[in-house]
Structure 1
Amino acid sequence: MNLDKVISGFFIILAMTINFGFFYGDIDSLETHSKYELFAAIIINLIATTLKLGDKTQMGSVLLATSLVADIQLIAAAIIWGVAAYAYTIDREIASIIISLSGGALLANITSVALYVGETIKSKR
């Protein structure tokens, strides 16, 4: 068993599940979405991204790209939430934008997990 692969896989899957936990709920209301869960999703995604930096393979490049997409979308969601909370009001449109950005990050995380599982199955042969 390769401990590096276990830790990397753990953070890749944890990033996806925490992101899903934030995404799940009413799309136009932030009452069912926790800002702390969004913060946790950003931190875990950043950890997963740093774990993918050392891989020099083509698959590693694609996995890194999916993590960067998720990072950018989650950070953008947090920035929009912060600006709207302090400079404007959070209405249904702003809530929808925040949730939609986290949905895009979730899709990138699902792609990352699917590629990771595919790579694991392929290397087992």
Structure 2
Amino acid sequence: MNLDKVISGFFIILAMTLNFGFFYGDMNSLESHSKYELLAAIVVNIIATTLKLGDKTQMGSVLLATSLVADIQLIAAASIWTIAFYAYSITPEIIGIIISLSGGALLANIVSVTLYVGDTLKSKR
């Protein structure tokens, strides 16, 4: 068993599940979306991204790209939420933007997990 692959896979899948946990809920209400879960999703996505940095293969490049997309979208969602909370007011449009950005990050994480599982199944022992 390759411990590096286990740790990397753990963080890739955890990033997706935390992102799904934040995304799932009422699209028009922030009460069903925890800011702490968004923070956890950001932190775990950044950890997953750093674990993908050493891979020099083509698959590693694609996995890194999907992880960077998820990072950017989750950080953008948190930034918009923070700016709207402190500088403006949180409107239904802002809520939609926050949830939509996390949905885009979720899609990037799903692609990443799918590619990771496919690469694992394809690899020889």
What's the secondary structure of 1:118's corresponding residue?
A: helix
Matches within 5 A, 1:28-47: 28-47=28-47
* Mapped partners of 1:82, 1:122: distance in 2: 42
Q: Does 1:81 align with 2:63?
A: no
Q: Which runs of 5+ in 1 are unaligned?
A: none
In structure 2, the residue matched to 1:70 is: 70
In structure 1, the residue matched to 2:121 is: 121
* Mapped partners of 2:76, 2:6: distance in 1: 29
Letter in 2 for 1:38: L
* Mapped partners of 1:34, 1:102: distance in 2: 12
* Mapped partners of 1:56, 1:119: distance in 2: 14
* Mapped partners of 1:80, 1:11: distance in 2: 25
Matches within 5 A, 1:1-125: 1-124=1-124
How many angstroms does 1:28 deviate by? 1.5
> Could you give the per-residue CA deviations for residues 4-54 of structure 1, whole angstroms, max 9, x where no partner exists?
000000000000000000000011110100000000000000000000000
Aligned CA RMSD, in angstroms, stands at 0.7
* Mapped partners of 2:92, 2:28: distance in 1: 5
Structure 2-normalised TM-score? Answer: 0.99
Structure 1-normalised TM-score? Answer: 0.99
* Mapped partners of 2:22, 2:111: distance in 1: 18
How many angstroms does 1:124 deviate by? 3.3
Identity of aligned residues (%): 83
4+ runs of 1 displaced by more than 6 Å? none
Letter in 2 for 1:59: M
Q: Which runs of 5+ in 2 are unaligned?
A: none
How many angstroms does 1:91 deviate by? 1.1
How many angstroms does 1:65 deviate by? 0.1
What's the secondary structure of 1:82's corresponding residue?
A: helix
What is the total number of aligned residue pairs between the two structures? 125
